[in-house]
Structure 1
Amino acid sequence: MDNDIAERPELSHLPGGLRIRLLPRRRSSQAAALVRVHAGAHDAPAAYPGLAHFLEHLLFLGSDRYPPEQGLMPFIQGCGGQLNASTRERHTDFFFQLPAELLEQGLLRLLDMLAHPLLDPAAQLREREVLQAEYLARAQDSETLCDAALGTLLDVEHPFGGFHAGNRDSLPVEADEFQLALRGYHRRFYHAGQIELLLAGPQSVTELQRLSELAARNLPSGASLERAPAPLRASASWLDVQIPNGAPGLHLCFVLDELPEDNAVALDYLATWISSEMPGSLLANLRAESFCNGLKWREPYRYANQAVVVLTLPLTERGRAQPQEIISRVLGWLTFFARAGIQRQIREEYRYIRLRSLQGFTPLEQLRYWAEPAAWSAASDSDSLQQAFDALMRRVSSCEPIVLLTGSDERPALASKGFPVRARREAPRRIEPCSFDWRLPEPNAWLKSPAPQVPGSAAVESSLRWRAGDFNGQGALYLRWQFAEKRPCAALWHALWSTLQPCLWAAKQAGVTLRFEDFGHAWCLSLLGFAEAFPRIVEDIGRLLNNPPSQAFAEGIRLAGEAGWSSGDEMLIRQLIRQLPRQLGQRAPDHEEKELRLDRSVLLHWQTAQRDGLAMGFTGDLADSLAEAMKAMPGLSGDTNDTIRPFAGHRWHDAGLRATDTAVLLFCSLPDANPETEAGWRLLARLMEGDFFRRLRGELQLGYAVFCGFRQIAGQGGILFAVQSPKASAAEILAHVGAFLADFTHPLSDLPAERMAQAVQASTDLLFDNEPEIAMERTWQNHLAGQPEDHPQRVAAALRKLQLSDLQGQLQALREAEGGRLVLANAPPPSEWTQTVRENRPRCSPPR
């Protein structure tokens, strides 16, 4: 395996203090930039909690050279790229990815907003309301409330226990003193001496160097500032914490100070093995006793030689009754893992894990990895890391964890900063490590094992389509099972999903992303990533799906019964998005199953379903090995209905997720499969995206999760509108969407020719983006839709011919929802929706 991908880009210093790392990626069509400002939430003035986070938001609202409508966000949205920002304890990151030829234009906008923001007072008032909405949503979040509860137990002088998100009360933007503090913070930290720039793309090193020097000239110079952290101390405690609508959980919190210099890699090494789901792992031991359903490692704080580590275990009914036994086992495993020589035994496997992950990274993912100063590289594997690991394990073994037990039962209010914490203090209990006969997890066979040997050429299934193409060592396999009459009960899908959970983790280590999706009357299994790993993974998964373990059936019934419950640690709108493929694929409204019965007899329906698929990125012996491995998969290969039946009609689905926020997804399907129609809707979505965001998020301040765009989901193309709001009802959100579409007639009529041309180019670029994951997913969606192979070329040709009058006609078709519309929300349909559907006057326009 090539080690070049694991070489850290060299750090250079430019005049003025700017630090740079350059990463040429010659085979990519995308470029990325990341700016790390070495100042974050813990550097903000104590009088104004959340000021650093607030400034991060404000910087996107216009700068000296680029007004809000021409700034970085609308520019990236207009060219189909991606961007985001993140405020952490001691740094703030701004990053984007876009078509490579636009890197300089994106970089100039990023630099100008960092160095010369407008900080308009009216915009500050509006953006404060966005932070308030974000604050209200996070006040329901499991991880946020656990961190706030943990903060009450730390020494008051350490900033971890402070409030850093910001809200309406902590950000008095009307006060002159606040404005002085805001601008003072910006002057102190937003200069070249505090900034590191990382660039990646197909450009030459010389060109990337030119762009970095351009960046240096556009930033004020300054000296780097050093800040020593306050001591990090906490005494062992137990808290019983209330999480709204939260499932029972156990959180073990390790507060670590005076860590070794190479602590980042040592922590990552420990995280890799304590999170293992292989046989012989800690989680396998806990699952075997039905104590918990998973184990998650989090680092809510890490800076210099300090860290706070949280192990989160979602508890079963049995685990809820025996938390002390679980803690004893976790401590016992840590004692075992601290033994001398353990790290050396699995060092090579860790190296393979890191190499595989790096190989499949996009340009932006690579930059985010290398932005961490102590990330593992091929040159890191040395005796110093062994010493750091040994020192870390001594520190962890001597640290008695803080224990948080979470659930939805009522608890009393606890004095805290910012987020409202309800918790009950309990006396700490002394727990001894369990003296179990621990062993290392079994090696992940998918990391290094060769593909199965195939005697001669394997017979290729007639229903498996193969697509040629060079994807730089990456591959994709999509398999679909279609059910002719009645599809299997939802509990069976959940049982199979539960069976695949350890496989998701092991495949990810091997550089392959695994998905299993419910498309209503079809199920889809997809694998994307390191092509050489596919044959063994496919063969092993096929055998597992044909014969799932007995406990999976009981787990499937449990999960099906909980399908309407909101997860306390995932955004509501993301939970709805995960349900969207199933609802689009339903041939009739989803009905609750009266009786959940599940045993091995139901597998017959799954094993006799018609199976087809698509494979990309495989040639020669590798293709033969994959074809042979496919024989282990359930289902019957043969003639199938290649095209998923398009969603039709006008349906509202109440997802039943209990939450204080309201989230709404509105999916408007294409009215037909013509390339001209798709071209018009793609262009409309591109033109609307920025305006929709500004109207509903900036002007109306509905919430901080707002977007729209053209999407292909379960083989169906359309425009998706998504809003999560802490204050608007589902009916009000839909009315705002309708009003936006009605008003968009005017900006469309006055559309400048230059903007039209830019949107056409951006929409065309997306059709031919050759980043492996994007290109392969696009090919699969077109296959599901029954489109010919040259469909992207046909849509691109139609895009170039589009006239303004065509767009106006497409906008009317969108407003009238001629292709059908699906509303997915955590609320029942309002009376006006029922009346509209009854009168057969569906529309995406506001009610008259």
Structure 2
Amino acid sequence: MPVPADSFQRPPQIRLSSGLRVRLLCLPESAQAAVLVRVHAGAHDAPAAYPGLAHFLEHLLFLGSRNYPVEQSLMPFVQACGGQLNASTRERHTDYFFQVPADHHQEGLLRLVDMLARPLLDPDAQLREREVLHAEYRARAEDVETLCDAALGRVIGEEHPFGAFHAGNRETLPVEQESFQLALRGYHQRFYCTGQIELLLAGPQTEDELLQLARLAEDSLGVGPEICNRDAPPLKQPQETWLRLQLDKAAPRLLLAWALEGITEHGQPALDYLASWIASEAPESLLSRLRNQGLCQSLKLRMPYSYAGQGVVVIEATLTEQGLKQRAQVIDALMDWLGFFSTDIRWQAGREHYSCVIRRRLQVAEPLARLRYWVEPQAWGEDSDESAVHGALASIIGQLLATRPVVLTCDATPRDSIETAGFPLRLSFEAPERAEAHAWHWQPPKANPWLRAGPRGKAVARQPTLDWLGPEDAAGRATLYLHWRFMPDRATAGYGQALQHALQTQVWAAGEAGVELRFEDQGHGWLLSLYGIAEAIPLILQDLGALLARPPQASLAQGHQLAERAFRLEGDQMLLRQLLALLPQVFNDSTASATQAPLKQTGLEQQWSKSERQAMAVGFAADLSGPLQEAITALPGMAAAVRSGPKVSSESRRWLQVGSGDEGETAFLLFCPLPAPGDCSTEASWRVLGRLLEHAFFRRLRSELQLGYAVFSRFTCVAGQGGMLFAVQSPTASAAEILGHIESFLEGFALQLTSQAAQIEEAARELSVRHVATNDLRAYAEQSLQSWLAGHDAGHQTRVAQAMATLEIAQVLAALEALRHGSGGWRVLTNAASPQGWQTPAKGLRLTT
């Protein structure tokens, strides 16, 4: 039996004979396995003549390799077994990573190393993928962080790679030219070899078995030397430079940026430590003080460039309108707090807390998240040299205090466009401001009470209103779901957003304690989810009841505004993510209750009084049943006597528009509900069909039609009802065109499906086993949640799994026909107006503005 690794213990690095560096993480309690490959070359190592070449190569590697053509390559393989994968090109390294069920570990690894070592680099595929990358470039041209870093690069990165354009677009990637092809292959040959690669493996296997997998990977990779540090010119720190960047749709921001030199190898954990305290929302923290004064909504520290002792450090504040007017005071507070934080007393008090937080986060992290943490060579762990980290922190803060930062303000103030070879910027210089002297009198932040051990007791008889699912999780994790359904109607618009606002600090504090806390407005109901350290969940829940019943008046005052901003798509996230967050709220909403009257405590009490509460616990130890039930009983709402499913709209084709339609790109969601929600055979065939559609849909609409960078499909559950979801964000296609492409794809897929009996049988067998598997807590809990919200009985999932095990091709073909013809209805949520033939909401629903 494999010995579990201490979650806080750094996996040692092994160097194989070829120069390949390997870290192995044995996780015997995990049903999942993960692989991460770091290639020590990135965007700044590409030829200056071809900006974006490194990023472009990252895309191309997923398009087939010598032993695995595109249909059998890593992406469709991972999608077919319900895993996750991605890649990231940074300044001086490129990461490729995936997570799959453990029995697919080796097959995934072999595909990954083959695509790294022997990519096809097909010329026609390059032309198509260049258009995909150009669509990504256009999307990033609207991204707040990207534009801010481009603006800072104009003054800090002059004559330095930090200030150059590295994303790539249609103009910078002349794939038709032989010189470009030579440069592309030359870059690949130079850097994609064993001396430049680190391989990290995590899974339930023994260390010897993981090492055997690493040697298999080594045999497939090209052998080459490690290339030592590449030189970079000095970073420039201009004095007293203030900039203003026009961003029309984002909340106001203030960025302080420093160019640092001489950062030691322990600088990264030192900066991570500093970042955790800058973002802290604990009482008396920096952010808490600025929030209480109405100046700031959030704070974070990030490092957009780091290499060979150089770094660009950015402290970013999301401002209120008052904070925008008092920028100088915010800067004064930040600088004064850095001085307070630099004392040895603060280090002694903070390091133990930080260690506890990191340990808890790693304890609940999935295998891939652990690898992404430990790939950083000096990530904080049990063996960290605390004295060296403390010294690096003192040196960094000393540099921050000794130099006036570059100050970048981002708001809607009109600015002229400037010439740039990369992202378009509306940027100008402005005169520095000074704040009046202020004594801040900083205090140490208060301790997080949820980091202590939670209460336990004897197992107690469980209430009928609490569904208790086992078995107990071996790693000490658990999931709790609480759902409030409103009878007979949905909640008045705004109250759900007010509660989300009220829970902001609790979400942060729960995260520190190793628990992911989410509160979602699902239209006819509210859903509270807690996943993580099992013994912390009752402790957290005990403290949430009073806040849910009586949130601060400031949160109630913002409820309407937050709801309206969400429906106007004014958030900073990409449009498609904003639509996905709204989908449960509007899915079955034909009688939405909206009022312009101020939200009041009495109104919230009325909402709670007409709600019925249900609870489901997954993976808890029996001795937590007493504290858990005690905490649930104290929550607002009435305990539901009978489990009920969602209300189902009778409309067959419904089109919902949110936003103004001038967001620049088209974001489009199509949800097709199951035609017979309670029928196990129907659900089984739709789930298998969903797995078969995933890669084919992605390849057709993203790679072949090049509609946009964000494209996916999957079987999912929305507001308690299962169905097929299709999602596209496109810079070029209209909503009607996207819909037409989806219809054409489904028609063509129907012709392909008749010859895919083997693939159908394999997908059905795989899904049947995993549908009722309890050894992957998170997947099991999410699967149980879908069934629970739909109102199904405890045996429903087992019957669906049995139906998948005996599924025939005719049933999947019938499911596809039902999907194509909208037997369960089609629901569109988009930022574009509807074509003829679609039902739209009644007047006054405030779904469009």
1:70-114 CA-to-partner distances (Å, cap 9, x unmatched) read 111111111111111000111101111111111111111111111
Name the CA shift for 1:477/1:647 in 2 (closer, same or farther; >3 Å).
farther
Once residues 650 and 38 of structure 2 are traced to their aligned partners in structure 1, the CA distance between those partners, rounded to angstroms, is 47
Q: Secondary structure at the match of 2:503?
A: helix
2:723 pairs with one of 718, 730, 743: 718
Alignment of 1:108 onto 2:113: no
Q: After TM superposition, give the deviation of residue 736 of structure 1 in Å.
A: 0.2
Alignment of 1:281 onto 2:285: yes
Q: After TM superposition, give the deviation of residue 640 of structure 1 in Å.
A: 4.3
Alignment of 1:531 onto 2:518: no
Alignment of 1:805 onto 2:829: no
Once residues 433 and 724 of structure 1 are traced to their aligned partners in structure 2, the CA distance between those partners, rounded to angstroms, is 49
1:431-485 CA-to-partner distances (Å, cap 9, x unmatched) read 688531001111111112x33477x777754312212212221111111112113
Indicate the residue corresponding to 2:549 in structure 1: 546
1:326-475 correspondence to structure 2 within 5 Å: 326-380=330-384, 382-429=386-433, 434-448=438-452, 450-452=453-455, 460-471=462-473, 472-475=475-478
Q: Secondary structure at the match of 1:502?
A: helix
Once residues 126 and 64 of structure 2 are traced to their aligned partners in structure 1, the CA distance between those partners, rounded to angstroms, is 11
1:677-705 CA-to-partner distances (Å, cap 9, x unmatched) read 11111111111111111110111000011
Indicate the residue corresponding to 1:522 in structure 2: 525
2:766 pairs with one of 762, 769, 774: 762
Greater Cα offset, 598-607 or 511-520: 598-607
1:97-246 correspondence to structure 2 within 5 Å: 97-226=99-228, 227-235=230-238, 236-246=240-250
Name the CA shift for 1:474/1:635 in 2 (closer, same or farther; >3 Å).
same
Once residues 646 and 446 of structure 2 are traced to their aligned partners in structure 1, the CA distance between those partners, rounded to angstroms, is 41
Query: Which runs of 5 or more residues in structure 2 are unaligned?
Result: 843-849
| Aligned-pair Cα RMSD in Å | 2.0
Indicate the residue corresponding to 2:748 in structure 1: 743
1:788 pairs with one of 787, 790, 793: 793
Once residues 338 and 687 of structure 1 are traced to their aligned partners in structure 2, the CA distance between those partners, rounded to angstroms, is 55
Name the CA shift for 1:765/1:394 in 2 (closer, same or farther; >3 Å).
farther
Once residues 395 and 481 of structure 2 are traced to their aligned partners in structure 1, the CA distance between those partners, rounded to angstroms, is 45
Letter in 2 for 1:675: C
1:580 pairs with one of 579, 583, 590: 583
1:508-528 CA-to-partner distances (Å, cap 9, x unmatched) read 010000111111111111111
Query: Which runs of 5 or more residues in structure 1 are unaligned?
Result: 839-848
Once residues 437 and 386 of structure 1 are traced to their aligned partners in structure 2, the CA distance between those partners, rounded to angstroms, is 24
Indicate the residue corresponding to 1:325 in structure 2: 329
**1:499–1:548 Cα contact (<8 Å) kept:** yes
**2:24–2:210 Cα contact (<8 Å) kept:** yes
1:257-302 CA-to-partner distances (Å, cap 9, x unmatched) read 2123201110011011111101101111111111122223322222
Letter in 2 for 1:238: W
Alignment of 1:18 onto 2:23: no
Q: After TM superposition, give the deviation of residue 594 of structure 1 in Å.
A: 4.7
**2:237–2:258 Cα contact (<8 Å) kept:** no
1:776 pairs with one of 771, 781, 800: 781
**1:712–1:718 Cα contact (<8 Å) kept:** yes
1:586-605 correspondence to structure 2 within 5 Å: 586-588=588-590, 590=592, 593-605=594-606
Once residues 497 and 126 of structure 2 are traced to their aligned partners in structure 1, the CA distance between those partners, rounded to angstroms, is 46
**1:32–1:98 Cα contact (<8 Å) kept:** yes
Greater Cα offset, 50-59 or 361-370: 361-370
Once residues 9 and 363 of structure 1 are traced to their aligned partners in structure 2, the CA distance between those partners, rounded to angstroms, is 13
Name the CA shift for 1:832/1:179 in 2 (closer, same or farther; >3 Å).
farther
Alignment of 1:497 onto 2:500: yes
Q: Secondary structure at the match of 1:664?
A: strand
Q: After TM superposition, give the deviation of residue 416 of structure 1 in Å.
A: 2.8
2:838 pairs with one of 833, 836, 841: 833
Letter in 2 for 1:250: L
Greater Cα offset, 164-173 or 672-681: 672-681
Once residues 660 and 387 of structure 1 are traced to their aligned partners in structure 2, the CA distance between those partners, rounded to angstroms, is 48
Q: Secondary structure at the match of 1:384?
A: helix
Name the CA shift for 1:683/1:577 in 2 (closer, same or farther; >3 Å).
same
Q: After TM superposition, give the deviation of residue 766 of structure 1 in Å.
A: 3.5
Q: After TM superposition, give the deviation of residue 561 of structure 1 in Å.
A: 3.1
Q: After TM superposition, give the deviation of residue 670 of structure 1 in Å.
A: 0.7
Q: After TM superposition, give the deviation of residue 654 of structure 1 in Å.
A: 1.0
Q: Secondary structure at the match of 1:513?
A: strand
Q: Secondary structure at the match of 1:652?
A: strand
Letter in 1 for 2:647: R
Name the CA shift for 1:170/1:596 in 2 (closer, same or farther; >3 Å).
farther
1:341-366 CA-to-partner distances (Å, cap 9, x unmatched) read 21111211111000000000111111
2:828 pairs with one of 823, 826, 829: 823
**1:663–1:826 Cα contact (<8 Å) kept:** yes
Indicate the residue corresponding to 1:844 in structure 2: none
Once residues 834 and 560 of structure 1 are traced to their aligned partners in structure 2, the CA distance between those partners, rounded to angstroms, is 23
Indicate the residue corresponding to 2:847 in structure 1: none
Once residues 650 and 155 of structure 2 are traced to their aligned partners in structure 1, the CA distance between those partners, rounded to angstroms, is 55
Percent identity over paired residues: 48
Q: After TM superposition, give the deviation of residue 177 of structure 1 in Å.
A: 0.7
Once residues 540 and 554 of structure 2 are traced to their aligned partners in structure 1, the CA distance between those partners, rounded to angstroms, is 22
Name the CA shift for 1:832/1:486 in 2 (closer, same or farther; >3 Å).
closer
**1:611–1:638 Cα contact (<8 Å) kept:** yes
Q: After TM superposition, give the deviation of residue 205 of structure 1 in Å.
A: 1.6
**2:480–2:616 Cα contact (<8 Å) kept:** yes
Once residues 189 and 684 of structure 1 are traced to their aligned partners in structure 2, the CA distance between those partners, rounded to angstroms, is 40
Greater Cα offset, 268-277 or 394-403: 394-403
**2:484–2:613 Cα contact (<8 Å) kept:** yes
Q: Secondary structure at the match of 1:312?
A: strand
Q: Secondary structure at the match of 1:766?
A: helix
Aligned length: 831
Once residues 431 and 187 of structure 1 are traced to their aligned partners in structure 2, the CA distance between those partners, rounded to angstroms, is 55
Greater Cα offset, 660-669 or 248-257: 248-257
